[in-house]
Structure 1
Amino acid sequence: MEYVYPIFGFLAGMALVATSVFAAVVYTPTTSSPVDSAVTAFTGITLQLGDCLAVSSATAVVFDLLDGFGVRFSLLVPFAVGYALTHVIAYYSSLRITDVQRQPLDPEFDIRENPLQLATLSIPGALLLLPAGRRR
C-alpha cells in the first residue's frame, strides 16, 4: 500500500509522455502561428511533467527498496539522481521528438520499416536507445 502514490505517479507520468509523443507525431508545427506555438508548448509541458513524475516515482521506489535492504543514502543522493535523470531524459526526448517530427516531412521515410519506433517513444528510457539519425 505504501507504493500506491509512486506507482500512480509513474503511470501518470508515462501517460503524459505518451500524450506528448502522440501530439508531436500527429501535428508538426511549421510556422510561428498561435496554433503551432500552443501545440509546441503543450508537447513540451507534457513531456517535462511526465518525465519528472515518472523519474521521481521510480527513483523514490528504488531508493526505498535499497533502504529496505539496509543500504542507506543521504536525502541529497536520491534528489541528485532524480534531478540528473530527469534532465538527461528530457533533453534526449526533445531531440528524438524533433527528429520524429522531421521524418514525416521526408518523402523517403517509411514508418512501416520500423513501426516500433513510435511505440518506443512513449517509454522515456527507450528514447535514449533510439538512433539519432533517420533510418532509410
Structure 2
Amino acid sequence: MGDEKGAKETSNEAAKLNELQNYKKDGHALKFFAYASIMEATDSFSSNNKLGQGGFGHVYMGKLHDGKEVAIKRLSRSSRQGVTEFTNELTLISELQHRNLVQLLGCCIEGEERILIYEFMPNKSLDFFLFG
C-alpha cells in the first residue's frame, strides 16, 4: 500500500510539473533554466556570490550566459516545499508582476532542487531601506 501512495504522489508531482511548464501569463511562457546553467551562473552556489538568506532558502547573485545579472533563490530542502506548493508560489508571483516589483525571470526544477530566478537589483534589499 505504501508503494501505491508513493507512486501516486510521484505521478501527481509529474502532472504538476507538466502543468507548470505549460503555464502562461499574459501570453508569456514561464522560462525554465537548466540546473547546469544555474550552477555555472553562481559558480556552484559559491559563498562569494551569496546575497542573503531567509527561512525559505539562500539568494545568490549570478550571471547568465548572455551577461545578464540575476538573483537566484535556491529554496531550502528543509522547507519541505513540494511541487504543488512551488507551482502555487510561481503562479502567485507571476500574477503579481508589476513594473515597481522585481521581475521573476524563470525557474529551475531538477530532482529535489527548486530555484527561482529574478532580475538582479543592485541597491540592497527593500528591508534595508525600510528598516535601516
Please, what TM-score do these two structures have when normalized by structure 2? Answer: 0.30
Q: Select the structure of larger CA radius of gyration.
A: 1
- Higher relative CO (Cα under 8 Å, sequence separation at least 6) belongs to 1
More helix by share: 1
